[in-house]
Amino acid sequence: MKIGCIQTKASDLHEFENTASMILRRIDEAASMKCELMVFPECVYPSYYVGTDEDVFLDSMKRLVFLKQEISERARKYHVYIAAGMMDNSSGKTSNKGILWGPDGEVAAEVAKSNMWHFDRKYAFPGKEYQVFETSFGKAGLIVCADGRAPEICRILALKGARIIIDMANLVTSGKDLSRVTNPQIDYMLPSRARENGVWLVLADKVGLEAGTVLNSGGSSIINPMGQVIARASADREEILTCDIDPFSEKDRPELPPREPWRYSIIAEPTEKLPVTENMLSSSTCCRTSEVFVSVVDFIFSDRESYLDQAFFFLETLEDQDSELICLPSFPIEWGVEDLLLTAAESLVNDGTLVFAGIHDKKNTIREAALFSRNGVMARYSPSGDRDDLPVFDTLLGRIGVCIDRDVLVPEVIRCMMLEGVFLVICADTSFEGITESVSRTRASENRIFLARLKSREHGDNSYIVNPGGQIIASTAPGMNQAASALVNPLMAFSKTVVPGTNVVLGRRPELYGELVIQRSTER
């Protein structure tokens, strides 16, 4: 099928008549290009910021009645699907909607934005359900802009069978060079959504400035189930981005790691009962220290002796440089876990220094992880076995989560750790692929936590530390014996507000997330 992402120029509310005409022209243009699915941005009509002029808004809503009829007629005329984001009050209350018309001209799907962004909440009521819809190109789900930031939403759609998710967005940005502006959702969050769920993701965005305050990033994209952006529009031009895809093909659909829904019960618990909520209100109790110097270490080794030589060097050097949490490369399990950890601990000087290490098998798959200090092994974790809990540990530095093997690709895992009140998650990966960095940045950003990622054993990989904004703040270089360090402020991990009105904890809708969790008694 041929997809057309119709990237439009942002317009102000009072321009609604011209906007309506533009939408119809663009449909005609996309039809001449043989597009079978046309996707417009969020609030392509009448505007994203509807402001305080209620009379103009009401006039635009009167025009919307006829615009929807005209779109319906064109969908029927051209025998195509048309998806468009609109501010709509036809139900008696205003919602920020995504609407999909089918080739018969009828509305095939309709959804209201659920994860409200900034001033959305002032004008629109949030949606209350996540549904998939049957189309000629398979089951599809609709999301609106910031819905893509909440991992629960796309996950529910994928679990319901969606093979393609259509995202109508109004992605905001800033920058002096409009041809190069971008947005975290384009850079790494939406590719991660596609990869972690094994779905196609189609994004339509705007360009240009609206209301003198909302600058759009463009970058409309088509992303395959591997998380690869196979087509992307410019950052500053109106255009129709087209691409042919086969949504039924299994060629680009990855094998996903298994879910363990009986372990995710905290996802659906009321916000006021979450440990993270208590931490947000009582930062003095959740943070043992105001800052932690964290290091990730890469080095090449051939045997147990060379591993310990490098470990001794880096532990001694980093302690002298005031590192309090040191993350070492993984080592083979046949070397003797307890004995090697205790030997490495002999080089530590400070009681407060915490060290992490992964343990891998002959296939370089991480099988276990350990936290230790000069006083011995504090915690060991293995994903094997019959356990309900996730690896969240209380340490002298604060609460830390551990994510090993391919669990980083399961968004529920680190989401649960965040809700349990961790300020940092250490990820020891099994394998390296092009999307790994995007997923790591997404996990930090969507949860507003720090993440220390240790490289896999594969050539060309590297380790890094990500802050709660999704930025990499320290990184090793591939192929070097190197440590990279960054100062981490745990308090930042309990400031969960992204922009005014949007909070990754308080803005969640746990009452809608029951489909993500299953009590153990019914699961097995």
pLDDT tens figures, 411-428: 999 999 999 999 999 999
Q: What is the CATH number of the domain that holds 191?
A: 3.60.110.10
d(CA 299, CA 321): 18
Cβ-based neighbours of 41, under 8 Å, separated by 6 or more: 6, 7, 8, 85, 168, 169, 170, 204, 205, 206, 220
Q: What is the DSSP string of 418-453?
A: HHTT-SEEEEEES---TTHHHHHHHHHHHHT-EEEE
Q: Between β-strands 398-405 and 424-429, what pairing exists: parallel, antiparallel or unpaired?
A: parallel
Whether residue 503 lies inside any domain: the answer is: no
Q: Same domain, yes or no, for 225 and 297?
A: no
Q: Same domain, yes or no, for 88 and 212?
A: yes
Q: Same domain, yes or no, for 239 and 330?
A: no
Whether residue 82 lies inside any domain: the answer is: yes
Q: Same domain, yes or no, for 341 and 230?
A: no
Domain residue limits at 352: 288-495
Q: Same domain, yes or no, for 224 and 320?
A: no
pTM for the model? 0.95
Q: Same domain, yes or no, for 239 and 292?
A: no
Q: Same domain, yes or no, for 190 and 99?
A: yes
Q: Same domain, yes or no, for 329 and 460?
A: yes
pLDDT tens figures, 367-412: 999 999 999 999 999 886 556 789 999 999 999 999 998 899 999 9
User: How many Cβ atoms from other residues are within 10 Å of residue 242's Cβ?
Assistant: 18
Q: Same domain, yes or no, for 465 and 333?
A: yes
Domain C-terminal end among 247, 269, 303: 247
Whether residue 524 lies inside any domain: the answer is: no
Q: Same domain, yes or no, for 230 and 176?
A: yes
Whether residue 500 lies inside any domain: the answer is: no
Q: What is the pLDDT of residue 522?
A: 41
Whether residue 264 lies inside any domain: the answer is: no
d(CA 22, CA 31): 14
Overall domain count for the chain = 2
Separation in Å, CA 424 to CA 361, 370, 436: 26, 15, 18
pLDDT tens figures, 41-57: 999 999 999 988 999 99
Whether residue 404 lies inside any domain: the answer is: yes
Q: Same domain, yes or no, for 55 and 200?
A: yes
What number is the average pLDDT over the span 275-297? Answer: 82
pLDDT tens figures, 167-219: 999 999 999 999 999 999 999 999 999 999 999 999 999 999 999 999 999 99
Whether residue 510 lies inside any domain: the answer is: no
Q: Same domain, yes or no, for 160 and 25?
A: yes
pLDDT tens figures, 469-514: 999 999 999 999 999 999 999 999 999 999 999 999 999 999 999 9
Whether residue 517 lies inside any domain: the answer is: no
d(CA 39, CA 207): 15
